[in-house]
Structure 1
């Protein structure tokens, strides 16, 4: 029994170091995941209150930056004004925080800005999703990590879970990312535009079933594992 406890302690210590967070709760339900304020990331399960589009270029003064340039030969100076124009669609979003997963926003509801080059943000199509935000260094407002979100589900015991997404840069042989069987028939991805090699990269058979060029997740992962996976892949450079 003592030997088993020692092995568990060693595994847990390794787990904590590898996920880059000082506090991780490995419960499947994950009431609160971890804190590492050196990483500018806030992850949570959020319930949509409002997503309202606005013109990001409506306040031109905020998009201007002036700089004084000195001519070393003549000693003359001139002020150059740079004008920034945002090409993306912009949205003011308000969400209720159902479960905090990484870092603490200190609030039960949160407002943030989201930008999307293709139209309405995909995360807004669902009432409840996992969202990833960062905080502006300039004025402290929260903004959405562009295009990043995860769908969220509950198992028969009420535990939240999701499924991994692959972008080709992660180590898919990671033994810790095994997952468990799920039935997500309503989650489908059209892969007809991908060749066979790309399908293996983005929809590996260990986690997806592909039939008639439609990929469906067959393995789920609990949220504590999802956050660790995201920190070590998508957000490893934050």
Structure 2
């Protein structure tokens, strides 16, 4: 076996290992998009095709629980039957996938189910948004991570960007690693009049928001990969 052939085998082996590692281990630090089979999350920029409400309890059947109780009047033993009832409103959603951010959906269009306790999901108000979905346990469908979405913008170069939303999971170290660029989103205002000073600092840190007349206004934009990294470290850290 000559040296050239041995080198080719070595390079092929390194390439295979590198490709596998890139697919499995990029979940917490994305450079050009990434994927991780062990994390049940798909993030993408989507354009709305349809959002249609349906009755989530329409085909629900009574379920035998295996439990028993005694009828106080007759003394008979009764088998308990319960019916699971979904209190949220439910929607069948179909979106065109404009840009894949984390884990790779096989199609350029995706259908998923969204639940919302308050009404029509907030993401449906915009034509294009950043969406976060997961696959059901039985693999039969995708479902929206409840209430999680980001508004999306595009610059003259065709680059997508947004601004970060913060929760109590955002540590100082996380903020230091979240790089952005100066951009004031004057149309996005959050009422902070009912928040104390500590809560304002937590949810609207001064590095990314300005406070004017009791409203927090985003003043820094973030491109998709840093935003995805931030989401993986905070919102979806337990997936």
The TM-score by the shorter chain falls in which range? 0.7 to 0.9
Deviates more, 1:173-182 or 1:82-91: 173-182
Tell me how far apart the structure 2 counterparts of residues 26 and 67 of structure 1 sit (CA, whole Å): 49
- 1:86-97 matches, cutoff 5 A: 86-97=86-97
Count of matched residue pairs = 210
Distance 1:24 1:167 in 2: 20
Q: Which TM-score applies when normalising by structure 1?
A: 0.81
Query: Which segment is superposed worse, 210-219 or 176-185?
Result: 176-185
For 2:43, the equivalent position in structure 1 comes to 43
User: How far apart, in 1, do the equivalents of 2:182 and 2:159 lie?
Assistant: 14
2: CA distance between counterparts of 1:112 and 1:190?
31
1:200-219 to structure 2, matched below 5 A, reads 200-219=201-220
Matched residue, 2:237: 236
CA contact (8 A) 2:102 2:228 kept: yes
Q: Which runs of 5+ in 2 are unaligned?
A: 1-20, 69-76
- Structure 1 residue 96: Cα displacement: 0.5
Does residue 177 of the first structure (1) align with residue 182 of the second (2)? no
CA drift of 1:149 comes to: 0.3
- What SS does the corresponding residue of 1:130 show, helix, strand or coil? strand
User: Corresponding residue for 2:133?
Assistant: 133
TM-score in terms of structure 2 length? 0.80
1:163-198 CA-partner distances (Å, limit 9, x unpaired): 111111211343211311013111111222212221
Q: Compute the displacement of 1:68 (Å).
A: 3.7
Helix, strand or coil: the match of 1:100? strand
Question: Does 1:144 find its partner at 2:149?
Answer: no
Partner of 1:192: 193
Aligned equivalent of 1:222? 223
- Aligned CA distance change for structure 1 residues 209 and 22 (closer, same or farther; 3 Å): closer
Give me the whole-angstrom Cα distance separating, in 1, the residues matched to 2:36 and 2:78: 44
- The answer for the alignment partner of 2:18 in structure 1 is none
Taking the TM superposition and a 5 Å limit, the aligned residue runs for 1:10-25 are: 21=26
| Equivalent-residue separation in structure 2 for 1:181 and 1:147 (angstroms) | 27
Q: Aligned equivalents of 2:203 and 2:27: distance in 1?
A: 31
Structure 1 pair 20/148, CA: closer, same or farther in 2 (3 Å)? farther
Say yes or no: does 1:109 pair with 2:122. no
**Contact 2:30–2:229 (Cα < 8 Å) also in 1:** no
Larger Rg: 2
Contact 1:20 1:231 in 2 (8 A): no
RMSD value, Cα: 2.4
1:10 alignment partner in structure 2: none
Q: Is the 8 A contact 1:23 1:34 kept in 2?
A: no
Give, in angstroms, the shift of residue 140 of structure 1: 2.1
